[in-house]
């Protein structure tokens, strides 16, 4: 065992560069148990709620559905399915606003609830160790499980990567201010999270898991400490309170001292990470057969009467969720999906809760000051000091404004995790993350256009090659046919048959004779005309 591995096993905690300590404000929502939410009248389910392609539609307008019924299937593009959150009728399928910083529209299925909340029959699995790894991955995929920590990467796809793993890391850090969804889930459902972790270990073929929790969650830590004695392959790691300790690369560095390379993945350094919410969903999918139709959402901020955590069905409109929590909007009220550091302001409250929605924040203007006008950069360097990815935020901003995409690539723009630490400390109120998100979107669009152009070019070249190949094949067939014909004629002549060439020569002679006769007749007519 190497010295580094011995340190990991001993529970050593490393550190990462940068980081900040914003006010936590988690006490607003973490004091009460997770509560259920009454059924809404309508649910809006975007087909795409994860990283990757959407699934293919299985329903049409007018269909009756039950809770848990698949509305889409995986399809050719390996998309994740979405499921009906309750029973009711499909009343629309078409464009709708989705929860995205840009306010983009996408295909959305609308379900009008019938109020009965009938569920499909579930298929529990008594012993998951008795079925193959591939079948377990298929079960997780069919349940529509994507990473619930925010990235939304399909869980089965991440687990399917085939490389030796040293550790599975379960991320329960939840370092973003205000959000306490994972905290309450760990306090109340630690055993289910442990069950999900055991399943993930089994699928990943990994022997050890590290469950990471930030030190400001003593109740969650105590909940796991009371259970881990029966699970020797699981180890608890308490990490210091520092934002963004819950970032994937930052947490890996904290727990193992290893650094994920630029443009690399945790699996490149022998690790894989899942969120505690994902582990919980995996346990439900595998052991109970339950698809992902609801999740824990923190509703918090001073402008809501009942802040707390709620079991929210996917597709629930944010407006309905806030209404149930006693929303008291003020003039120019901001509603933020996510936390104050990485979240984005919603332009329309009809957007639904989706798989990656962990928080709805409705702050008063006193607790979270509105964004001020952007001022000129004074080159203080504070943004670079706090960047956990060791980037140069100021330089990235200039390059983004100049649309210098090559320069942004050289400065590793996509290593930015958009934690917002740079903008938080900027004395000039520059919304740095806004520039990075916009630049990333533009780079992705350019890449997509390049890919489309490349595909079009390859198709054109392939067509030209096909046409040229067919032409050459046609010429070759004609050449061979001519040779065969000549050969057959030669053989026929040799055997005493008529020579086709003689017939040709005879035809030519007849044509010449006919032409000469016509010329002589014309000359004779001209002569008779002169004599007359």
Annotated binding site for [4Fe-4S] cluster: 377, 380, 383, 387, 416, 419, 422, 426
Cα Rg for the chain, rounded, in angstroms? 35
The whole-angstrom separation of Cα 260 and Cα 59 is 42
Q: How far is CA 222 from the centre of its chain?
A: 34
8 A C-beta contact, residue 165 and residue 271:
yes
Going through 30-143 in order, the beta strands assigned E by DSSP cover 35-36, 42-46, 56-57, 64-65, 72-73, 88-97, 105-113
- Total Cβ atoms within 10 A of residue 275: 26
Angle between helices 190-204 and 133-142 (to 10 degrees): 130
8 A C-beta contact, residue 331 and residue 364:
no
Task: Tell me phi and psi for residue 107, to 5 degrees.
Answer: -70, 130
Annotated binding site: 377, 380, 383, 387, 416, 419, 422, 426
The whole-angstrom separation of Cα 282 and Cα 289 is 9
Helix/strand/coil (H/E/C) assignment for every residue in 376-401: CCCCCCHHHHHCCCCCCHHHHHHHHH
Going through 99-245 in order, the beta strands assigned E by DSSP cover 105-113, 167-172, 209-214, 234-239
Q: Check residue 28 and give left, alpha or beta (phi > 0: left; psi -120 to 50: alpha).
A: alpha
């Amino acid at each position: 065992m190497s010295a580094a591995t011995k340190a990991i096993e001993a529970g050593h905690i490393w550190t990462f560069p940068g980081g900040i300590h914003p006010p936590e404000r988690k006490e607003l929502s973490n004091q009460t148990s997770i509560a259920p939410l009454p059924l809404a009248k309508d649910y809006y389910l975007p087909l795409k709620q994860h990283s990757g392609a959407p699934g293919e539609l299985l329903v049409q307008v007018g269909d009756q559905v039950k809770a848990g019924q698949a509305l889409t299937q995986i399809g050719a593009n390996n998309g994740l399915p979405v499921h009906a959150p309750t029973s009711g009728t499909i009343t629309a399928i078409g464009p709708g606003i989705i929860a995205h910083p840009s306010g983009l529209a996408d295909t959305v299925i609308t379900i009008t609830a019938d109020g009965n909340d009938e569920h499909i029959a579930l298929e529990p699995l008594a012993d998951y160790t008795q079925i193959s790894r591939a079948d377990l991955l298929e079960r997780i995929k069919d349940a529509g499980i994507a990473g619930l920590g925010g990235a939304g990467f399909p869980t089965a796809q991440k687990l399917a990567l085939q490389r030796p793993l040293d550790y599975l890391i379960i991320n329960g850090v939840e370092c973003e201010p205000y959000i306490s969804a994972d905290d309450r889930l760990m306090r109340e459902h630690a055993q289910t999270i442990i069950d999900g972790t055991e399943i993930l270990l089994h699928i990943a073929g990994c022997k050890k898991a590290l469950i990471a929790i930030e030190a400001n969650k003593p109740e969650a830590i105590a909940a796991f400490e009371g259970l881990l004695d029966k699970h020797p392959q699981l180890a608890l790691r308490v990490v210091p309170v520092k934002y963004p300790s819950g970032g994937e690369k930052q947490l890996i560095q904290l727990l193992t001292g290893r650094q994920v390379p630029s443009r690399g993945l945790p699996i490149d350094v022998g690790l894989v990470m899942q969120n505690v919410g994902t582990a919980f969903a995996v346990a439900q999918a595998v052991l109970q057969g339950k698809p992902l139709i609801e999740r824990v959402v923190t509703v918090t901020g001073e402008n809501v009467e009942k802040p707390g955590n709620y079991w929210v069905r996917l597709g629930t409109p944010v407006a309905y969720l806030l209404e149930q929590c006693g929303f008291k909007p003020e003039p120019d009220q901001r509603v933020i999906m996510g936390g104050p550091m990485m979240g984005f302001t919603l332009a329309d409250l009809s957007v639904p809760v989706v798989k990656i929605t962990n928080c709805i924040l409705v702050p008063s203007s006193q607790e979270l000051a509105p964004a001020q006008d952007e001022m000129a950069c004074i080159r203080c360097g504070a943004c670079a000091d706090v960047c956990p990815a060791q980037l140069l935020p100021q330089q990235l901003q200039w390059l983004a404004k100049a649309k210098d995409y090559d320069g942004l690539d050289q400065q590793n723009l996509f290593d930015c995790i958009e934690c917002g630490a740079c903008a938080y400390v900027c004395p000039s109120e520059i919304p740095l993350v806004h520039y990075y998100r916009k630049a990333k979107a533009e780079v992705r669009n350019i890449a997509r256009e390049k890919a489309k152009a490349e595909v079009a070019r390859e198709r054109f070249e392939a067509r030209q090659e096909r046409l040229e190949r067919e032409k050459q094949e046609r010429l070759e067939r004609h050449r061979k046919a001519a040779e065969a014909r000549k050969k057959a004629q030669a053989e026929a002549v040799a055997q005493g048959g008529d020579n086709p060439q003689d017939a040709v020569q005879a035809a030519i002679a007849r044509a010449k004779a006919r032409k000469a006769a016509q010329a002589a007749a014309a000359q004779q007519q001209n002569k008779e005309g002169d004599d007359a």
